[in-house]
Structure 1
């Protein structure tokens, strides 16, 4: 799995979430894709994406690759499988 990060304006989250949900429905039969967030100083929000392959990255303009240690400690699940999210972030 590939992790990506970007800081976005709060009003961008909805369009990224819709794109993510469309991709997850089409390409994530294993329910491993995640979109998580951490609220930063207003008006930005930190978003992290977990994608199965780099081929899914192009529609997410401006996201940068990040490593597992760079993930936030207490993110909020925006979209994706709650069970997979819990395994990664709530029960490490």
Structure 2
């Protein structure tokens, strides 16, 4: 898995909107991994929700992610296993902002 491409995407939720905080697409370098790890450390393990949408057919990944994001509390993090950057999700979140 060392040479496998990795996509890291995370979102910040405030009282009024959900925004894209960062995306690292391609091979993640040490600085990007460190930043991602820093974000993860802000949340205790019981406040990190994991979902895996890699095997779902379109548009189910986006649907499942939106449902989870709508129910996400401000003190929680949604950790998504996805096989690519969720481009359509990003545009949908912009519409909702």
**TM-score where L is the length of structure 1:** 0.28
The structure where strand makes up a greater share of residues is: 1
Larger of the two Rg values belongs to structure: 2
